Amino acid sequence: MRLSSTHTSFSSVWWVIKSIFFLYNFFINEWIAASPNESLRLQAMIDAIVALRLGLNRSDFAYIMLGCDLPIHLYLDKSMGLDPKGFWRNGKNLPLPNRPTIAALFAFDSLLTLRDNLDNESGVIEKFVGKLPSDGWQIPRKITKTELKEISQNQLGNFEYTVDDLTFQTEQNIETRHSNTFPQSWSEVEEMAKKLDQILSMKPTKGYFS
């Protein structure tokens, strides 16, 4: 919900669940994925949890991500022979840490490390996700070729990279994508929820669609 219900039209839903899950202790914009970076972080965590539930290991996950680790300029090289339907197409023009595929790879590695140190799988996911909006796994700000090779069991990271290729691109001077489409406070959420309820309760004018 934090990732998908980020439009004003979901105000009624947020207003209902805020009391159930005690969300009102934080600003609404802390809960929604209001920026590309937070969307990336949440999606990577979801992908990692799904992979865990499916029983994948590091080698399985890395195999799925083959071709996702190329430096940007190599994607212009037709001789690379990449699968035209491969996941490498997602974020190929971004630095590696900003790519949904590579972020998910690192998230999955962190999740498996937690699992190896804890016995209770539900406890593993709870610790991985956290209880507060900004808790849980965080996107690495820098990665290394050695790390990439290690967590993929040498299936990825076999290219030459620049510092920029391996450095996370921050959102400085980038406007958040939901800043103008979602209420900025719980009082605004309540007000919008009431307006939506009024609109939805209105009966259509007779013969409107005739």
Q: What is the pLDDT of residue 135?
A: 86
Q: What is the Cα Rg of the chain in Å?
A: 21
**Which positions ≥6 away from 191 have C-beta within 8 Å?**
183
Q: How far apart are CA 86 and CA 88, in angstroms?
A: 5
Q: Which of 60-64, 67-71, 80-84, 187-191 has the lowest mean pLDDT?
A: 187-191
Residue 26: is its pLDDT beyond 90? no
| Average pLDDT score over the chain | 84
Taking only the tens place, the pLDDT of each residue in 156-181 is 999 999 999 999 998 643 344 444 56
Phi, psi for 95 (deg, rounded to 5)? -60, 155
Q: Which residues contact 140 (CB under 8 A, 6 or more apart)?
A: 97, 106, 168
Task: Spell out the domain ranges in the chain.
Answer: 1-34+184-210, 36-173
Q: Residue 139: name the closest of 107, 161, 163 by CA.
A: 107
Closest C-alpha among 70, 91, 100 to residue 82: 70
Residue 3 has pLDDT above 80, yes or no: no
- Most confidently predicted of 9-13, 15-19, 57-61, 81-85: 57-61
Question: What pLDDT shows up at residue 60?
Answer: 97
Please tell me the predicted confidence (pLDDT) of residue 8. 77
pTM score, whole prediction: 0.80
pLDDT at residue 205 greater than cutoff 70: no
Tokens of residue 141, six digits = 């700000």
Checking if the pLDDT of 4 tops 80, the result is: no
